[in-house]
Amino acid sequence: SVTVPKYYYNDNKRSFAYSTARSRWPKILDGAIGDISNLIRKQSKNEDNDSAYLEQAKVIESQLIDMKDELLSNKELSKFNNSEIPGLDFYDKQIEEYKKYLLVDNEEEKLSWLNSAWLFSETYFYRRIDVIVKNQDLFEDYDIFENLKQDTFKSSHFGVEELAIHYKQLHYEFLDKFEKQKASGEKIEEKVLELLFDEFAEISLWGNATDLSLLTNATLKDIQSVQGKEARKKSEEYILINELDRAWKALYHGGKNGDGKKRVDFILDNSGFEVYTDLVFSLFLLDSKIADEIVLHCKPRPWMVSDVTKKDFFLTIEDLLDKDGSFFGERVVHKEELKFVGEQIQKYYERKQIILKDNEFWTLNSGYWDISGKKENKELYDYLLESSLIIFKGDLNYRKLTDDRVWDRSVDFSVAIQDLAWSKLKMLSLRTCKADVVAGLPKGKDEELCKYWESLGNEVGELWCSSGKWAVMSFSDGKQQ
Ligand code: F6P
Ligand code: MG
């Protein structure tokens, strides 16, 4: 058996954690402070403003400023206090988790903002912001990142429009083709479905990066053609591990669940363009009847700035329908195509073929290894066992699958995910690399990329893996012995 390595720490200069904690977190706090300051400014101008609301906003603002000071001066992480959050029972369990960790009475274990395990202090960071906001009862449902999420989606209108056109076109092409084949009693060619599956999976993968230029524009014919394959190859050069074929087999050739359904679960990551690509992928799976049901697992609170909450799902539909033209407005020409995507999502949601869930598990401080072992997680675990394929989106999910530990980058993915490898869960991770941890690379690949990254003038070669340029699509059937 392999020894489990230590965590990535944010005082390690060769880790992306180092700059994240020192320069990105303060900026994220500045953004949150800016959001609340704007709200205060607007409210103050409003003659019949609600003074209680305004007062509470000011408390939030000043506590966020204090938090930033504590971070910049590397103070010890302060403990959560149950009385800080009266009446919210569901918090207790998680606050306990943090307390257990933070209450360790061990000098060496004193955790400070800039000297702690990266995954722990980062989840703590978002949890602290959430508690500061929710402590003010008039702000219990306030999402301090909502304006930012909405603005970013708006500014990705170019990619949004392009993908809507692409989906609508493919939708009619493949549906047409399938209808004709069905009518003539012909068996639908698996290869065509699999190619489309790969196409939509890759779009959803690159939705996790900021680089929209990797999006393809191909028709069904192109996708099957040599040119299409070549165009795809260009972006595939950056995909270091591609195990989509294994995911396809599990999904397409696997049986139905206890409800007689084929279900695909998405453990979502970001709002905006990314979730839009996940939704388009979902539409394809439903349109083609490869899946009967899609379950979208959202975060139960604003998280890691842009992660999807249930509310963000509904906002995305509203944005696409853009009924009064105030969202995308004149930024897009193909309004009909956007509307089409919005209506398709709505249709499946109303038919209960798209289902929303959220669970506290996704915002715990810990990784995901103990999902199958801890009784607190039993309900979620049992639910996920009924899935034909669980798609984990994005970087943070990958860090949690591998527990954000310093794995040798050529160690098997099945080793790096430990208990999950024999959990019976069928998991596909679609992740552009934006942190240090990665597993499953061919021997020598990491060394090659480190050298390449340094040759571009970067000081720390290892940080190629945090640049967001490369990606992995790793699969586990959960059946490792
Ligand atoms: O870039 C650093 C970071 O903040 C990581 O901490 C985190 O894993 C990632 O960004 C979030 O990325 P994603 O939205 O893909 O999970
Ligand atoms: Mg995210």
Q: 34 CA distance to ligand 1 centroid (A)?
A: 21
Sketch out the chain's domains with CATH numbers.
16-144 (1.20.930.60), 150-476 (3.40.50.10880)
* pLDDT recorded at residue 286: 97
ipTM of model:
0.96
* Cα distance between the two ends of the chain: 12
417 three-state secondary structure: coil
Closest C-alpha to ligand 1, atom 7: 396
* pLDDT recorded at residue 88: 40
* pLDDT recorded at residue 253: 97
* pLDDT recorded at residue 111: 81
* pLDDT recorded at residue 182: 79
Q: Which atom of ligand 1 is nearest to the CA of 16?
A: 2
User: How far is 37 from 41, CA to CA, in rounded Å?
Assistant: 6
Strand-pair partners of 239: 471
15 three-state secondary structure: coil
Q: 78 CA distance to ligand 2 centroid (A)?
A: 25
Contact 275, 306 (CB under 8 A): no
* pLDDT recorded at residue 87: 37
* pLDDT recorded at residue 218: 62
**415: which 2 tokens?**
């080793």
The closest ligand to the CA of 432 turns out to be: 1
* pLDDT recorded at residue 96: 60
Q: Which atom of ligand 1 is nearest to the CA of 118?
A: 6
* pLDDT recorded at residue 71: 97
* pLDDT recorded at residue 46: 84
* pLDDT recorded at residue 97: 59
Q: Is residue 334 classed exposed, middle or buried when 0-12, 13-18 and 19+ CB atoms within 10 A define those classes?
A: middle
Closest C-alpha to ligand 1, atom 1: 434
Closest C-alpha to ligand 1, atom 12: 395
* pLDDT recorded at residue 307: 96
- Average pLDDT for consecutive 10-residue bins of the chain (481 residues)? 91 96 95 97 87 96 98 88 48 56 47 91 92 93 96 90 93 87 81 93 89 55 65 82 98 95 97 96 96 97 96 98 95 95 98 95 89 86 98 98 97 97 98 97 98 97 95 97 79
The closest ligand to the CA of 392 turns out to be: 1
